[in-house]
Amino acid sequence: MKILLLAIIAGFVLTGCDSANNMIDKAQEAANQKVESLQKKIESFNLESLNSELFNDAPALAALLTTTVNDALNADFSNVAEMETLKGRISNVYACLVEQSSDKTAQDIMQELLANMNNADVRQLIQSGVDAGKAKQQCIL
C-alpha cells in the first residue's frame, strides 16, 4: 500500500515538473520573440534617413541629433534620471534646430523623425523633448 501511494505521489510530482518545464519553455519562447521583435524595430530604424542635407550647414547638429536618437533607442526606460537627461538633450537639439533654421523647419525634421520611429516609448520621449524644447530660448551645443 505504501509503495502504491509513493508511486502515485511520484507520478504527480513528475507530472507537475513536466508542466512547470513546459510553462518555462513557453515563457522563454515568448520572451525571445519579444526581444527579436524589438531588435528588428531597432534595425529597421534607419538613422541615415535623417539625411544631413536637411540640416544644410549644420553637420554638427545633425550628428548631435543622430547621437541623441541612437542613445534614446538604446536607453533604459525604467531609469527616470536617464529619461530626464535624454529629454533635456532632445529639447536642446530642438532649440538648436530652431535657432539655426526656423521653427517650421525644426518641426518638419522632428515630424519626419517621429514618422520613421517604430518604438512608441522612444517616440513619446522625443515628443516630450520637442515640447520642452519649444519653451527654450537658447541653444547650447
**Residue ranges covered by each domain of the chain:** 1-44, 47-135
pLDDT of residue 67: 87
Angle at 75 between CA 71 and CA 79, to 5 degrees: 135
Q: Which three cell numbers stand for residue 141?
A: 551645443
pLDDT in tens, 18-75: 666 677 778 788 777 877 777 776 666 655 555 544 555 457 777 888 888 888 888 8
Angle at 135 between CA 127 and CA 72, to 5 degrees: 30
Instruction: Cell 525634421: give the residue.
Output: 109
The answer to whether 61 and 55 are in contact (CB under 8 A) is: yes
Q: Running DSSP on this structure, what letter comes out for residue 48?
A: G
How far apart CA 106 and CA 111 sit, in angstroms, is: 9
Q: Model pTM? A: 0.59
